[in-house]
Chain A
């Protein structure tokens, strides 16, 4: 894969301070098509926001807003 410069955290850039687990549309872009959480080395998310993001994703999964696993990639 081509070398890509590490990006700055999208949440910091957008001025987001809280990631809501009910906001599945905003959060789902940080999942792979299989439903895994994209690591921060790939997405460039900062540690603070990645922690918030991962809790939000896990909560959203409990509420069946996001999949735990996805066999049919969207």
Chain B
């Protein structure tokens, strides 16, 4: 088999799926990937979400996001598998270069830190009553406060 590459595969299953049916679908999916020489690294159930536009009269869908390592030759069979599947009505497979993976990780980490910083800045400030003073006090490492215009 050729080189394994990183892919992000998201698919949307019928909205009325319960945990059991989702488990069974994810199981079949994992089996299919492994049969084609890949591995499923991560599965994230995003759950039932409202669709931005109706797809074959459906207003909702059950979103499942996965990160996969597989050879490029497995993509075409995977897409065919989705197309033939009764359970999945939409899918998206995105190739992630090593650079994409790295930048995504950096940015996710960045968002997390930013959230922590904001929480740290607002919570104690609110307790002391003085918003401005609270914000100043909890500024991190002398970095200038971001001004909202």
Binding site for B on A (CB under 8 A): 14-18, 20-22, 59, 61-68
Closest to B49 in A: A65
**Using Cβ atoms and an 8 Å threshold, which residues of chain A touch B53?**
64, 67-68
A59-B65 in contact (CB<8A): no
A64-B107 in contact (CB<8A): no
CB-CB under 8 A for A67 and B110, given A20-B104, A59-B92, A62-B90:
no
Option from B52, B104, B114 in Cβ contact (under 8 Å) with A66: B52
In Å, the complex CA distance between A14 and B46 comes to 26
B146: min CB distance to chain A, Å: 8
> Chain B: interface secondary structure?
strand
Whether B39 is near chain A, meaning CB under 8 Å from some CB there, is no
B106-A22 in contact (CB<8A): no
Option from B49, B52, B63, B100 in Cβ contact (under 8 Å) with A18: B100
Binding site for A on B (CB under 8 A): 10, 12, 46, 49, 51-53, 55, 61, 63, 65, 90, 92, 94, 100, 103-104, 106-107, 110, 114
Option from B10, B100, B114 in Cβ contact (under 8 Å) with A63: B10
Option from B52, B106, B110 in Cβ contact (under 8 Å) with A65: B52
> Chain A: interface secondary structure?
loop
**Using Cβ atoms and an 8 Å threshold, which residues of chain B touch A21?**
94
Closest to A11 in B: B107
**Using Cβ atoms and an 8 Å threshold, which residues of chain A touch B52?**
61, 64-67
A–B pairs, 30, beta carbons within 8 Å: A15-B110, A16-B107, A16-B110, A17-B106, A17-B107, A18-B103, A18-B104, A20-B104, A21-B94, A22-B10, A22-B46, A22-B65, A59-B94, A61-B52, A62-B90, A63-B10, A63-B12, A63-B63, A63-B90, A63-B92, A64-B51, A64-B52, A64-B55, A64-B61, A64-B90, A65-B49, A65-B52, A66-B52, A67-B53, A68-B53
**Using Cβ atoms and an 8 Å threshold, which residues of chain A touch B104?**
18, 20
